Structure 1
């Protein structure tokens, strides 16, 4: 094991050469967003003299952590701290410059309130050995990153992501091609990427996008954003001003955000909280603002981002990650399911019959999970693909169908199950199976081929056409990945009013 040194615009960094890759960890791409910078857009870090060690990850953004029910399934972020706007780079060695390799920039999920680019699952060594430069990053979460502040400031977490992509313009020093950047991310990260595809400030910073289990419907209106900010300030015991909120200690603000999440979950008027009423989060990107003028799906329907290549998709049973560990199944019966379908604007009898038609052994909880998977994940991704096709832009669509072995297989092909295979991490808690190496090779090759050329077709998979005109979906698994035409079409047709 030896070291490597690279010059960045802010100073030199010392990384580590190991097993065919060079890693540079914890590099600041912006100044600490606290003190005078708290609740403000990101600013450049102070340059440093000499050579800065980049041998260990930097601090994660302040966050509350996951519920105890998720222990062992979701990995908690590492140490938190003020200098949290940092990133990590993995690049093929021995050369760290002049290669012009595709760059893949990972934006983590975590419901906009948890997560880190430095989780073990997101180690980019394997992707780097596959021939790309891999970057993972942290951004501000929760109230720090996604409140609509009283002075109109909004979407600071998205501005952090843009600042990191601006840093990536210097990726040539690490062997990457700044003209061939693919952003890829999952859940909240994918929602953020879909927003970036439409944001004026992000124009020209990336060429391709891979969105995993997140699309463009999830956003707050200014009205809901202001309501959330006002209530969170109350719960934190602060006036609803930028100065007062910025004076609340980060841990107290995160705790107030958690209390607000519980309050929203118990609300008898969920519509007043917008998308947050769906559970898991309080904050989302806020539209109608200078940084994000329109809801991303609406902007894409108007043609935004049509010049970008897009690969998008879902896991087959997204919602089982929440249904099973949180014990929700025991509280869902036929009466609850009927009322839930009606609240979504569906004909309860017709919808239940459509979802049960190829799930003969499913109970009410299983059907509820399938409906939530479609409503929260699959249909929003389909609407993005449809909107892009109207402007002549192809979108490649996948469905990850490999069941997780966790909890004795009860999770199925759940939310986050594909993350270990995407990064080649064979010890991910959700997907640690004997089939992992082959499964991972298939997915990684598709992802890196897409980063190279803008399409995911490889020799390890059948020919992969765009989603439209035939609604072609690649079902990814360890045994027999295949293209299916309009899978679950009857269910899709139930949601004609989802826009």
Structure 2
């Protein structure tokens, strides 16, 4: 494993590990444990320590339950017990000095996930000369409840505190605090967008990468629905004191019962970011349109195939599609455009593509089209042989991190995914983090999109007509 490197930061001295020219420091507190008197409070400063703190293992994971059912066989989880969940992990090249920095924010629908997953190993970025950092944040009820007497968007506030830690402490690891790229996928992409929508956080971000991230925050009343229903199920008021009196596991079990049988487009409401004067004054989808920060943003061709297994898609009738269209305010001419763009697709597949585009691709396209500064758009189109996932949500992660050999990546991509595509995609991300230019033309009026498939091509965005018809 090599020598044990040491780094001194504002709260004390850390001992990490070194392997193959890369130093690694894990489980470093960026805020105090959010339990006890800190529960449902804004993130508090971490306590300093005496002596040398061991930073060779990931810190505890935020309270959460594993993914249920079929999706749980595709997306793994890690559980590390303990309360010190607000930690940061750093991979840094030996001898780094003024290196570009990336801060990774994991996804998981705001109620699952952890930076400790092996697929999020930062080695490939550090090997390319980048100081890579990742953080944990509060999830589910602990991080995104709307409670009387409690601040809004606690998980977002955690991410903002993590970003501030990186800006303050990363020079000790050889990183340049003025060259920070924030990168996130799915809910982590949504948090990345939310950080860009905050004046204080945006000032610390040089560039950003949003992978399959929802861009819209909700009015407080809508974001509160999940908390209000959960409080009724628990027979307590939706207040800080009442929720703080319950152990985290009781909140998790109640949420499991609440969410049983739900999907991304139906059933019990999910956790969402709330528009809030103090923590998120504007919805990201509006704020990003005037943003001058360089942005790399994109989606996967068949995002929906992770959320809806083939049997669920087969059960979607024309009547169900019609009802979904009405609920989402999708005009009939949009459905007709999608059927023309996807000849031979079944009704369930048309529903899935509409869901993908309403939730992810259309908002990303609008931001890219309106932003005044360089914005680079990608579409990940390589089709996995696993369970007819095709180019499903989260499939690109093993390629971006160049971790296709990891068992976690192979759950989605299988054992024979194209390594050259991973190397190409990882190199493009590295180039953007380092220079602000990933290697293909900006989106602008031509709508140029880099498509990652068996062949990598720069093409005008596909299915433009259907996207433009969506609400």
Is 1:149 matched up with 2:129?
no
User: Which of 219-228 and 358-367 deviates more?
Assistant: 219-228
Equivalent residue in structure 2 for 1:296, among 262, 280, 284: 284
Change in CA separation of 1:226 and 1:334 when aligned onto 2, cut-off 3 Å: closer
**Equivalent residue, structure 2, for 1:340:** 324
**Equivalent residue, structure 2, for 1:113:** 111
Equivalent residue in structure 2 for 1:474, among 450, 457, 469: 450
Equivalent residue in structure 2 for 1:319, among 286, 304, 315: 304
What are structure 2's unaligned runs of at least 5 residues?
A: none
How many equivalent residue pairs? 465
User: Which of 205-214 and 80-89 deviates more?
Assistant: 80-89
Q: Assess if the C-alpha contact under 8 Å between 1:152 and 1:289 holds in 2.
A: no
Name the TM-score, length of structure 2 as normaliser. Answer: 0.94
Map Cα deviations across residues 230-257 of structure 1 (whole Å, 9 max, x no partner): 3222222323321111111001112222
Instruction: State the secondary structure of the residue aligned to 1:205.
Output: coil
User: Which of 62-71 and 155-164 deviates more?
Assistant: 62-71
Change in CA separation of 1:281 and 1:51 when aligned onto 2, cut-off 3 Å: farther
Instruction: State the secondary structure of the residue aligned to 2:74.
Output: coil
Change in CA separation of 1:401 and 1:235 when aligned onto 2, cut-off 3 Å: same
Q: Assess if the C-alpha contact under 8 Å between 1:27 and 1:54 holds in 2.
A: yes
Instruction: State the secondary structure of the residue aligned to 1:27.
Output: strand
Separation in structure 2 between the aligned mates of residue 387 and residue 33 of structure 1, nearest angstrom: 39
Report the Cα offset of residue 224 of structure 1.
Answer: 2.1
Report the Cα offset of residue 307 of structure 1.
Answer: 2.6
Separation in structure 2 between the aligned mates of residue 279 and residue 314 of structure 1, nearest angstrom: 24
Separation in structure 2 between the aligned mates of residue 192 and residue 82 of structure 1, nearest angstrom: 22
**Equivalent residue, structure 2, for 1:70:** 71
Change in CA separation of 1:277 and 1:435 when aligned onto 2, cut-off 3 Å: closer
Q: Assess if the C-alpha contact under 8 Å between 1:405 and 1:433 holds in 2.
A: no
Separation in structure 2 between the aligned mates of residue 280 and residue 435 of structure 1, nearest angstrom: 36
**Equivalent residue, structure 1, for 2:458:** 483
Change in CA separation of 1:351 and 1:153 when aligned onto 2, cut-off 3 Å: same
Q: Assess if the C-alpha contact under 8 Å between 1:15 and 1:24 holds in 2.
A: yes
Instruction: State the secondary structure of the residue aligned to 1:71.
Output: helix
Equivalent residue in structure 2 for 1:377, among 360, 382, 392: 360
Instruction: State the secondary structure of the residue aligned to 1:72.
Output: helix
Deviating beyond 6 angstroms after TM superposition, the runs of 4 or more aligned structure 1 residues are: none
Separation in structure 1 between the aligned mates of residue 418 and residue 81 of structure 2, nearest angstrom: 31
Report the Cα offset of residue 386 of structure 1.
Answer: 2.5
Instruction: State the secondary structure of the residue aligned to 2:119.
Output: helix
User: Which of 373-382 and 80-89 deviates more?
Assistant: 80-89
Is 1:286 matched up with 2:274?
yes
Change in CA separation of 1:432 and 1:90 when aligned onto 2, cut-off 3 Å: farther
Name the TM-score, length of structure 1 as normaliser. Answer: 0.89
**Equivalent residue, structure 1, for 2:403:** 425
Report the Cα offset of residue 279 of structure 1.
Answer: 6.2
Is 1:394 matched up with 2:393?
no
Separation in structure 2 between the aligned mates of residue 243 and residue 261 of structure 1, nearest angstrom: 24
Separation in structure 2 between the aligned mates of residue 82 and residue 22 of structure 1, nearest angstrom: 26
User: Which of 110-119 and 199-208 deviates more?
Assistant: 199-208
Instruction: State the secondary structure of the residue aligned to 2:222.
Output: helix
